[in-house]
Amino acid sequence: MKKKVLSALLSVAMVATVLMGCGSAAEEAAPAATEEAAPAEEAAPVEEAVAEEAAPAADEEMLVYLVSKGFQHQYWQAVYQGAQEAAAELGVKMEMVGPATESDIADQVQMLNNAINLKPAAIGLAALDTEACLDLIQTAMDSKIPIIGFDSGVPSAPEGAVYANASTDNYAAGELAAEETYKLIEAKIADATATVRIGVMSQDATSESIVNRGQGFIDKMKSLVEATGKTVSVEGHDKFAAKVDGANVVIDVAVPAAVTAEASATDGMNLLNKADVIAVYASNQHSGEALVNANANLNKLGADGIIGVAFDSGVVIKTAVKEGTLVGAVTQDPLSIGRKTVELAVAAAKGEAVADVDTGCQWYTADNMEDPKIAPNLYD
């Protein structure tokens, strides 16, 4: 009997959590509710804000609603912080939601749908897939809700739907990574008697930011190499491929089947294991961490070995750059991305003219990590 009571209690508690968990897909208030239910758990800044916003708002405060790619990576926490600061300064309400993982395109579409139904003053959108959101963007335009793209834009959106973008010029950031990488492998390419390979690790082939960081890198690298009279073939994923037989330099693009640590680490290991590889570029935090993981057994990365280049920061990438496993990385300015998104959203909602903002990016190595211009952009 005792056992029955115990198990019933356990299961009721569990069922309750399930019910709340399921609800969260449909309405953003749920995570906040569950958070409160969880005892002895200090309320996070994210949930705090969500909880405030979720209360039926009767006042006329302007609501800016941001649909992000999720909160998995610390990068988004920095974006959120910037957005929060700007919202507080401008006196508007800001809510930020995102799917559980960066593979959950459908969940994000649903979140955007909910956002439009809430009729906020403006919506910020960091699209996981440039095509999946198009219908809803049209709906938002029809209901006259301005959309501000952040982090990752929607290039094929109908004219006038996306008022402005606040993001790193991702294509230029990819080019920057290519230029810095090229400096370190120029001699190797020039001296090579056989084909050499440059690996590119790309988390996906669907979002604007990741695709452009890959494309910017590939295009720049291609033009730099071709300027010396050598030929370049781009292989691997179909999205980027431009195959040339017998090329001097092969750019090999790996895209994992799913955004998981083990799938991406396998991709990285595979690239590092190819005998002719001289450099590997990982185009975001996830891929960068996977590259560092992949290197753990192989120990091939380093200034004297295969040149490893990453993007963003976080403990793993920062440590790897500091220790020289990665020669360097490109950092964005996530705080500014969050800040500018809210500023643009408020301006657009008020009917003011807005234009794209490039929040910039910088190349960092072990030598300039502590530089006051760079250090604040490197998060843990």
Partner 1 sequence: MSNNTSTKKNPLLNNPVVKAVGTQRAIAILALIVLFVFFSIASPAFRQYSTFVSILDASYYIGFMAIGVTFAIITGGIDLSIGTVLVCSSLISGTLATKYNVPILICLIVGVLIGAFFGLCNGLMVSVMGLPPFIATLGSMMISKGFGSIFTKAQSVTWPQSSQADGWFRNIFKINVATANGNIMIPTGFLLLLVLAVVMSVILNKTRAGRYITALGSNKEATRLSGVNVVKWETLAFIFSGTFAGIAGVSYAATYSTLLPGNGGGLELDAIAGVVIGGTSMSGGYGTIAGTLIGVFIMSVLKTGLPFVGLQNQYQQFITGFVLIIAVFADVANRKKNSK
195 contacts partner 1 (rule: CB under 8 A): no
Q: Is the dihedral of CA 289, 249, 254, 216 positive or negative?
A: positive
Structure tokens, 35: 């958070």
Q: Classify residue 64 as left (phi > 0), alpha (psi -120 to 50) or beta.
A: beta
Q: Per CB under 8 A, which region of 56-64, 72-80, 240-248, 351-359 contacts partner 1?
A: 72-80
Q: Which of 109, 259, 279, 361 binds partner 1 (CB under 8 A)?
A: 259
From the CB of 359, what's the least distance to partner 1, in Å? 22
205 contacts partner 1 (rule: CB under 8 A): no
CB crowding 331-346: b at 16 or more within 10 Å, else e: bbbbbbbbbbbbbbbb
Burial (0-12, 13-18, 19+ Cβ within 10 Å), 270: middle
Our CB check for partner 1 shows the closer of 324 and 360 to be 324
Q: Which of 8, 57, 241, 242 binds partner 1 (CB under 8 A)?
A: 8
Residue 327 CA neighbour count, 13 Å, CB half? 22
Instruction: Choose among 328, 341, 337: nearest CA to 371.
Output: 328
Angle at 190 between CA 179 and CA 225, to 5 degrees: 40
Q: Which of 98, 174, 214, 334 binds partner 1 (CB under 8 A)?
A: 98
Maximum alpha-carbon separation in the chain: 82
269 contacts partner 1 (rule: CB under 8 A): yes
From the CB of 163, what's the least distance to partner 1, in Å? 28
Question: How far is CA 342 from its chain centroid?
Answer: 18
2 contacts partner 1 (rule: CB under 8 A): no
Q: Locate tokens 């491929």: which residue?
A: 241
Sequence-ordered list of residues with C-beta below 8 angstroms from that of 18, at least 6 positions apart, any chain: none
Q: Per CB under 8 A, which region of 67-75, 124-132, 153-161, 340-348 contacts partner 1?
A: 67-75
Q: Per CB under 8 A, which region of 20-28, 116-124, 167-175, 218-226 contacts partner 1?
A: 20-28
362 contacts partner 1 (rule: CB under 8 A): no
Our CB check for partner 1 shows the closer of 165 and 233 to be 233
Q: Which of 29, 51, 54, 72 binds partner 1 (CB under 8 A)?
A: 72
Q: Per CB under 8 A, which region of 153-161, 186-194, 212-220, 270-278 contacts partner 1?
A: 270-278
The CA distance from 242 to 226, in Å, is: 14
Would you tell me which residues interact with partner 1 (CB under 8 A)? 3-4, 6-8, 10-11, 14-15, 17-18, 20-22, 24, 31, 34-35, 38, 41, 44, 46-47, 70-74, 76-77, 98-101, 104, 254-263, 265-267, 269-270, 273-275, 289, 292-293, 297-299, 314-316, 319, 323
